[in-house]
Chains A and B, each alone.
Chain A
Amino acid sequence: MRRSALFLLFWLAGSLALAFTVIPLVELVAEPGVAGVVRAAQLPDVRSAIGLSLGAAAVTAAIATAIGVPLAWVLAGRRFPGKGLVEAVIDLPLTVPHTVAGIALLLAFGREGVLGAPAAQWFGLRFWGTFAGIVVAMLFVSLPYLVNAARIGFEEGVDPHLVKVARTLGARPGRVFVRIALPLAWRGIMAGITLTFARAISEFAAVAMLAYYPMTAPIRIYEMFLRFGLGDSVGAAVLFLVIVLVLFVVLRHFAFGRAGQRGFGR
């Protein structure tokens, strides 16, 4: 009897959580109908904004993987002075309001910024109102997801004994990383890439502060909402949502597969 009551309570809580997420999205999808979505898809501005968002998020995920996975490996396997501080810095973007992050990025990567000025001078790379700016803003807010997921992947997937054995078998640390650690942690890394991509593509505030133009999909939808109201922006929103959801489902399938289907039993 007690177990049934507990089950009911948990079921109710879970249903509320799911409903909270699903109902607004269902409402959104139902609003414009297929015709509204098709109409939005025919707008060149909407198509280019969605393409830009997808491209920038993909580049962001790639950069995050390139710089975040090695860091995650170090954090998972090494003890060093200041490790706690490094971990806190990695997580910092999760706690900083994204408008604040945008201003910080503007100061650092703007024309006169400590990173923006030399990048422009030496490499001709500008961030204010450019694709590179969009990527920088997306990277800032999404990098923690990559590092943390990959780190968990390394911690849970790579038995330290395997690393030690590989070293004594003659493999240098780089080879151990490539041949042993990466294959065993790939699910965690894929989960990190999925989350990073999802977080990057959905970013609005930080991107808007650093690179309002060219417009990414969230900014284009916001702009349509301001200029034409809810009616016209909903079609673009649903189109963007569907594309992102399909991508998310595909990536999630690779990242998680059938893992997580084991239960506690009754």
Chain B
Amino acid sequence: MNSDGLRLTGVALRLGAFALADVSLAADRGEVLVLLGPNGAGKSVLLETVAGFHRPLRGRVEIGVRDVTRLVPEARRVAYVLQNFALFPHLSVAQNVAFGAMHGTGNRASRHGARARRVASLIERFGLGAHADRRPAALSGGEKQRVALARALATDPELFLFDEPFSALDALTRDALRDELASFLREAKLPALYVTHDHAEAQALADRVAIVDGGRIVQLGAAAKVFAAPRNARAARLLGVENVLDGVVRAHAAGSAIEIGAPPAFFVPLDAGRAPIGSKVAVSLRASDLALGPPGIAAMAGEVAFDATVRHVAQQGPLTRLRCDAGVAIVAWATSAQLRALAIAPETRIGMRCPQDAFHLLEG
């Protein structure tokens, strides 16, 4: 990590019955680290600790070259963006932005002049000129987000913290704002910690992902790697993996294979690591890795193929979610074209195939 980023080293905290246990993580300049976890996992507490609202029992919080562990929030230079953007409802857009620019150094007159220029430039940069005198209640979701970002930038921050800023918005607005935020973060080139329980949001924004559960970081790594290889079943569920399949380790020509489902079972050649032959294991499989075809579909090289009976069909947005029985409950997605071509309906038989490496062995 370079010295411009965020680094937490062995941070421990106790808040009533809740505890954060020796959290260590880092986010480089320009990197978005998403803290993904269920409600009550400790993501927001961790963010608040970085912001300075809780003092750790142990450990160190560093932003750039500064050790901020014992600094109060107002001295940390972090930009904190919260649910629904937390704009001050009694202040205009310009006053909201000016609030962030209010606490610089220098004498009063030079501060005032510099502040006015900074506020004007931020309002222009974020295209808020037409709304400068409006109150937040009169703004759209996108405008609110831009005010929140402009206000946060007015403090000349060294770190961005986001605590589920989109959780109170409708899906359409959320998607649009997420794209806008992703562009902003790419340009801002500041380290960012982003808290969410939404795996889609994490996938859209994260350079790296930390899965937080029970006050601990249970998995941390590059987003692509974490999404491809969740550590355990709980992490897999949090990462939006639709299929966590129980299996049994069997001997195989290649070393080992996982037998999945009740007979007629299918076998996945997979290195079972230290799991002995005959032991029970779990594997993850993303529904998006499953290709659909007619029953008896042939596996290509490096693929696994099996048949399943469709039990339930539900339209979800542009795709249709299929709950199937392949000796084990398995979820797949179908396009409208596939529905028509395969005449998919409840109780029809279909074939499925996917690459062997789409299966991932989970820790127990």
Interface residues in chain A, defined as those with a beta carbon under 8 Å from any beta carbon in chain B: 159, 161-162, 164-172, 179-180, 183-184
Contacts and interface: CB of A to CB of B under 8 A. Distances in A.
A183 B90 CA distance: 7
B88 A168 contact: no
B73 A164 contact: yes
A169 B100 contact: yes
A165 B86 contact: yes
A170 B102 contact: yes
A184 B89 CA distance: 8
A163 to B, nearest CB: 9
Interface of B: 48, 51-53, 72-74, 76, 78-83, 86, 88-90, 99-100, 102-103, 151-152, 154-155, 161
Given A169-B99, A169-B103, A164 B88 contact: no
A164 B103 contact: no
Contact of A169 (B53, B90, B151, B161): B151
13 contacts: A161-B83, A162-B86, A162-B88, A164-B51, A167-B73, A168-B73, A168-B79, A169-B102, A169-B155, A170-B100, A170-B102, A171-B99, A179-B99
A129 to B, nearest CB: 45
B90 A170 contact: no
Contact of B155 (A170, A179, A180, A184): A170
Given A167-B53, A168-B52, A179-B99, 19 more contacts: A161-B82, A164-B48, A164-B53, A164-B86, A166-B88, A167-B51, A167-B74, A168-B74, A168-B76, A168-B79, A168-B155, A168-B161, A169-B74, A169-B102, A170-B74, A170-B103, A171-B103, A172-B74, A184-B89
B163 to A, nearest CB: 8
A171 B52 CA distance: 13
Contacts of B151: 169
A180 B74 CA distance: 15
Kindly name the residue among A169, A172, A179, A180 whose own CB sees the greatest number of chain B CB atoms within 10 A.
Answer: A169
A171 B86 contact: no
Shortest 7 CB-CB contacts between residues of A and residues of B: A170-B103, A168-B80, A167-B73, A161-B86, A161-B82, A169-B100, A165-B86
Kindly name the residue among A161, A165, A172, A183 whose own CB sees the greatest number of chain B CB atoms within 10 A.
Answer: A165
Contacts of A184: 89-90
A183 B80 CA distance: 22
In terms of DSSP, what is the predominant structure of the interface of chain B?
Answer: mixed
B249 to A, nearest CB: 49
Contacts of A179: 99
Contacts of B100: 169-170
A164 B76 CA distance: 13
A59 to B, nearest CB: 29
Contacts of B154: 169
Contacts of A168: 51-52, 73-74, 76, 78-80, 155, 161
Contacts of B83: 161
Nearest to B86: A161
A165 B80 contact: yes
Contacts of A183: 90
B88 A180 contact: yes
B281 to A, nearest CB: 43
Nearest to B76: A168
B75 to A, nearest CB: 8
Nearest to B161: A168
Contacts of A171: 74, 99, 102-103
Contacts of A159: 86
A159 B152 CA distance: 18
Nearest to A168: B80
Contacts of B78: 168
A45 B51 CA distance: 62
A63 to B, nearest CB: 27
Nearest to A184: B90
B331 to A, nearest CB: 36
Nearest to A180: B88
Nearest to A172: B74
A67 to B, nearest CB: 25
Nearest to B148: A165
Kindly name the residue among A161, A172, A184 whose own CB sees the greatest number of chain B CB atoms within 10 A.
Answer: A161
A172 B102 CA distance: 11
B193 to A, nearest CB: 13
B46 to A, nearest CB: 14
Nearest to B53: A164
Contacts of B51: 164, 167-168
Kindly name the residue among A164, A170, A179, A183 whose own CB sees the greatest number of chain B CB atoms within 10 A.
Answer: A170
Nearest to B84: A161
A168 B81 CA distance: 10
Contacts of B80: 164-165, 168-169
B85 to A, nearest CB: 9
Contacts of B89: 184
Contacts of B102: 169-171
B13 to A, nearest CB: 16
